[in-house]
Each structure stands twice: as structure tokens, then as C-alpha cells.
Amino acid sequence: MTQTTEKKWVDFEELTLCNNFMFGEVVADEKAGKDILEIILGKEIERIVVYEKEKTLDNVPGQRGVRFDVYLKDQTDTIYNLEMQVAYKTDMPKRSRYYQGILDTKLLPSGCKNYNILNRSIIIFICKFDPFGEERCVYTFEPRCVENLELTLKDGTTRIFLNTKGKNRRELPKALAELLDYLENPSTTVLEDWRVKELDNRLKKVKQDKKARDQYMTLQNLIEEERDEAHAAGVVEGYAAGETKRNIAIIRKMFDKGYDVVLIADMLEQGTWYVENIYSLLQEYPEYTDLEIAEMVLKNRYTDTTDREKS
């Protein structure tokens, strides 16, 4: 009798634009990136170039970098970072802050003291859940003075959160409403806007790309290998300690392989603070075992998401 195992990954042929890997592959095409930005921002963009389109994992022999982030730049040197968020997360405000910090670090040359050279930046999160609970399709944030809401900080930053489950579709431009419908239910949405049609065509083209397929399979194998190795590392007493030890083993290995905080947090379905705190402990106590680090984590209640979010 053949033993069957639960399939943890979606087959490449079944990927939609809401899959992080597929989204990166599609939007990294300059034409597709221009189309989706024009739909989201509701304005024409003269020209888009890919500012940075892949993060290289040096430990993958024979493979080009596995792509996680896509940074686009328009003719005014405004930088756009687009991110797909599928699983519900409670840390979106702090996550956007983390992304902003990473982006600014990339834009500012080492040792530079003139912060005015920082590009204008727009970070866009496309969420398949409502990050703020007001049933809006779009949430746009820009810093402004609490005492005078007409006074903006003018630091050049904007963060936009799209919610595919938003209820105020009728208030949106038709193309944006159609894009959100397509992201939420790609198989049932009737495509009328030519730019949404082009995004769908680009997705179909990527599915025919052998290199993209190989990349996806490589990423599957790498992460499943880390999960299996961590799971097989040993059993410890108590569910909480065992689960934390498993996560620490994964975090230790994934950092060594070049994965960033956000990707590891997504994989573990934890907040970025959880991964950052464990990584700090690993750096401070490199000689400690995974179990010893787990005991420190539990003692300091780093895994208590509720308390952290209230602080």
C-alpha cells in the first residue's frame, strides 16, 4: 500500500498572481510592472524600469537568484516596492515600517549624511485580507502633523495597503475594482480592462518558462529540506519547547543560507519581531544549542504575540 503525504505546495501550473513567487516573476517584467502601478495609482506612468528584481541565494548551484522582492523605478526616480500578502497577519503596520527601513538602507549610500538624496518611495502591500478591519479596498498612509492635519511631513514616503476583500468597490476606478476581483477570484472574473488582461497573459507566459518552473521547484526543495531537518533534529519535552526549538533550528539554517527576516517570518507564520528576537539571541549566544535558546525565548515570552502587539 502506497503511503500518501499531504501536499504542502501548490503545483506550478496552478499558481495565481497571488502566489508570492509568481507575483514576483510577473511584476518583474517592466511592462507588467507599469500596468499594475498605473491601475493601483490611477495615473499614467511614462516609463518604468526594474530597479532591483532579485535576491541572490549563493547556495543554489547553477540557478540564478530566487526572487522575493521587486523594486520598480519610474521616470521621476520614485521607487516602488510591491509585496503580495496572502496569509492573514496582524503585524502589517510594523511590517511596513520594517520594509521602509530596508528600502531606505538600499537607497542611501554608505556614509552619506545628506538624507535629502533619498528617493521618493511608495510601498504597496496587496493583501487577501483586511489589514485594518474597516472593509476598505484601499488604505493609504502618509505622515502628517497631529496638531495640524493639513501639515504633511513631506519625507517622501507613502504606504498603500490594498484589500481584495474590501466592500467599497463602487467607489474605486473600474480598472482597480477589476484587478482586486481578479486577485480574489481569478477563475470567475470577467476581464475587460486591457491592462488586467495583459497581467493575466504575462502570468500564462511565465507558466511556460522552464527557468521559472525550475526556480519554483528549487525553492520548494530548499524550504522543505529545512523543515524536515529541523523536525528530525530531536524531540524535546513539552509542545511549546519542541515547537520553539524547531523554529529556532529553521531560523538558524535559513539565515545561514541568506534568507531575510520577512521571508522566514512568513514561512513560520510568525511576526517579524519573533524572528528578529531569536536571531539576536543566536548572535549573542552562538555556542548555545537550539534547546537552550528555546528555553530563553519561552522564559522571556518572545512568543507571546498578543503582548507584543499591545506594546
pLDDT tens-digit map of 53-103: 544 333 333 333 344 567 899 999 999 999 999 888 888 998 899 889 888
The residue assigned the cell 510577473 is 26
Q: Is residue 226 part of a domain?
A: no
Last residue of a domain, one of 174, 208, 242: 208
Same domain, 151 and 60: yes
Do 45 and 140 belong to one domain? yes
Which residue among 147, 173, 208 closes a domain? 208
Among residues 87, 144, 85, 94, which one has the least CA distance to residue 311? 94
Shared domain for 260 and 304, answered yes or no, is yes
pTM attached to this predicted model: 0.76
As for how many domains the chain has, the answer is: 2
Domain identity same for 40 and 116: yes
Residue 221 within any structural domain of the chain: no
Q: Are residues 169 and 253 located together in one domain of the fold?
A: no
In this structure, is residue 256 part of a structural domain? Answer: yes
* Spatial separation of the C-alpha atoms in residues 67 and 24, rounded to whole Å: 6
Tell me, yes or no, whether 202 lies in a domain: yes
Domain housing 16? 12-208
pLDDT digits (tens, 9 = 90+) for 201-238: 999 999 999 999 988 887 777 667 666 665 555 444 45
User: Looking at 192, 208, 224, which one is the last position of a domain?
Assistant: 208
Residues 189 and 253 in one domain: no
